Amino acid sequence: MKHLVRRSLVPAAMLASALMLPTTTLAADFDGILSKIKLPAGFKIEVFAELPKPRSITVCKPLNTIYIGSRHGTIHSLRDTNQDGVADEVLQRAEGLNVPNGVACQDSQLYVGLQDKIVKWPVPAEFDTALPLEPLLDVKADLPNEFLHGWRYIKFGPDKKLYVSIGSPCNICEPKGMEGTIFRMDPDGSNVETVASGVRNSVGFDWNPVTGALYFTDNGADGMGDDIPPDELNAVTEVGAHFGFPFFGGKDVRLQGMEEKDPPANVVPPVIEFGAHTANLGIHFYTGEQFPAEYKNDAFVAQHGSWNRTVPDGYRIMRITFDDDGNATGKEVFAEGWLDNGSAIGRPVDIDQLPDGSLILTDDFANVVYRISYEG
């Protein structure tokens, strides 16, 4: 495996002076993980970068600088300046933030989803990667500040609005206010509109390139046994629709303690049910040209893996197949091997696409970002 080279992580005080340290060769060796990952014929997986606890990904334009959030206070930027499929610049840009899980970029502006608010960096995100991300200006500062399911996922839609998921702060309960929703707003924080309600905890969404519909993953409830309720993939075809929580998990499983309560009318069932507790997080619709043609407009979903199941499940990448009209037709395993003889050696989180049509994938257990490419 090719050794990685990066710029050393620079403390914020040094970044403020735009100081850069010499490149250093990484000592970490991920061959033990990579050798266990199974992919379809013609595909390969390599290490793109190493960094602590990487979660959500956004690729900024026009220079394709990658920003990665975390649940541990830090944000990093990555660059592959020589386009060899390995990040040669990995920089810590912020620290001490309140769960900066969500990152999104539009028109050279970086937005960050913190636990309690949405903020943006007023400096063009690709102007100078030596700069610290400060100041971060409030865009919407009244989000529920709850720890459980309090890691935000954010993304700009085709309508150029910022979409934000707000998890329900519980295992099974009736959400209040903004809890259990996905909402959208203008980039300045105005014109807030609920897109989906009845959501337990979505940590990934993307737009179907054929139909334009928003698809989002949703994690099912715990404590009801190994095999129920299923995790979900949902499609928003009507703004403001209700997706079942806390009354249903999956299409028809009634959640514990809510069996006698009447759900709203016209609850929308999931388009795909995943295994219970597989923890489906990031989703990305493939629009590139590198992969074989049959992958075009299909979706990839990162299964972070179970934490409370007798026999662990998940820890893989699923492919969701779609027909020519943009309708989901099924699911299949695309990449697996992060669960090795019942023990986790990695936990996939988020997926995004690079300009060459390859995919990058975060893993907050192995502290690495992978690149998946196709060579035929």
Mean pLDDT of 195-210: 98
Task: Determine the topology of domain 5-374 in CATH.
Answer: Neuraminidase (2.120.10)
What is the secondary structure of 234-275 as a DSSP string? EEESSTTEE--TTTEETTTEEPTT-TTSPPPTTPPPPSEEEP
* CA-based nearest residue to 229, from 212, 206, 254: 254
Q: What is the pLDDT of residue 14?
A: 34
Burial class of 99 by CB neighbour count within 10 A (0 to 12, 13 to 18, 19+):
buried
Residue 11: what residue type? Answer: P
Q: What is the pLDDT of residue 17?
A: 27
Cα angle 265, 266, 272; round to 5: 135
Q: What is the pLDDT of residues 133-189, one digit of tens each?
A: 999 999 999 999 999 999 999 999 999 999 999 999 999 999 999 999 999 999 999
Q: How confident is the model at residue 15 (pLDDT cuts 50, 70, 90)?
A: very low
What is the secondary structure of 280-306 as a DSSP string? EEEEEE---SSS-GGGTT-EEEEE---
Q: What is the pLDDT of residue 9?
A: 36
Q: How far apart are alpha carbons 105 and 107 in whole angstroms?
A: 7
Q: What is the token pair recorded at 149? A: 């399911």
Element spanning 319, H or E: strand 316-322
Q: What is the pLDDT of residues 302-315, one digit of tens each?
A: 999 999 899 999 99
**Cβ(47)–Cβ(34) under 8 Å?**
yes
Q: pTM of this prediction?
A: 0.92
Task: Tally Cβ neighbours within 10 Å of residue 307.
Answer: 12
Range in 19-28, 258-267, 340-349 the model is least confident about: 19-28
Q: How confident is the model at residue 376 (pLDDT cuts 50, 70, 90)?
A: confident
Q: What is the token pair recorded at 36? A: 């266990």
pLDDT at 200 over 80: yes
SS3 category, 113: strand
For residue 223, give Cα distances in angstroms to 12, 112, 143, 249, 280. 42, 32, 27, 12, 17
SS3 category, 12: helix
Q: How far apart are alpha carbons 335 and 224 in whole angstroms?
A: 28
Q: Where are the domains of the chain?
A: 5-374
Q: What is the pLDDT of residues 209-221, one digit of tens each?
A: 999 999 999 999 9
- The region, left, alpha or beta by phi > 0 then psi within -120 to 50, assigned to residue 281 is alpha
Q: What is the pLDDT of residue 82?
A: 93
